Amino acid sequence: MGYTITIDAARKRAVVRAEGHNDLATSLAAMDELAGRADFVAGYGMLCDFRTNDYTPGTTDSTKLAEAYASRFSGRPMVVVVSGLLHYGIANMITTIVRLRGMPVAAFREIGEAEEWLDEATGLRQAKR
């Protein structure tokens, strides 16, 4: 099924949804697509909803994905939302590598918690107060 990318200008974010079978190539292609979009403006974060993604990256792919996130989206806040303990562990491994490169990222299993974190990271939460 692949990736679907939408821009939510009101919430200052790109929403990336992965469904079904994906792999490293489709994941990198989705990152390239988002990085090239003119409507993904400075100050926007990324909400990556991978709860229905069947792709389980191994160590090598996880490292490549982390490097790709860090190089394409440097400085942009990002949350990764997954289901299941295995995917949560992998998401934490990837986000740890990305964080070590100075990018504000976090992994979650609950979409509401991820949205709150991203609102805080993009300054949207303070603007609502």
pLDDT tens for residues 72-117?
999 999 999 999 999 999 999 999 999 999 899 999 999 999 999 9
pTM of the model: 0.91
Inter-axis angle of helices 85-100 and 59-72, to 10 degrees? 50
CATH code of the domain covering residue 78? 3.30.750.24
On whether residue 79 sits in a domain, the answer given is yes
pLDDT tens for residues 16-64?
999 999 999 999 999 999 999 999 999 999 999 999 999 999 999 999 9
- The answer to whether the CB of 79 falls within 8 A of the CB of 118 is yes
Structure confidence at residue 124 (pLDDT)? 72
Structure confidence at residue 125 (pLDDT)? 56
What domain range is 51 assigned to?
2-122
CA torsion angle for 41, 56, 60, 98 (degrees, to 10)?
Answer: 30
pLDDT tens for residues 59-69?
999 999 999 99
On whether residue 127 sits in a domain, the answer given is no
| Count of the separate structural domains present in the chain | 1
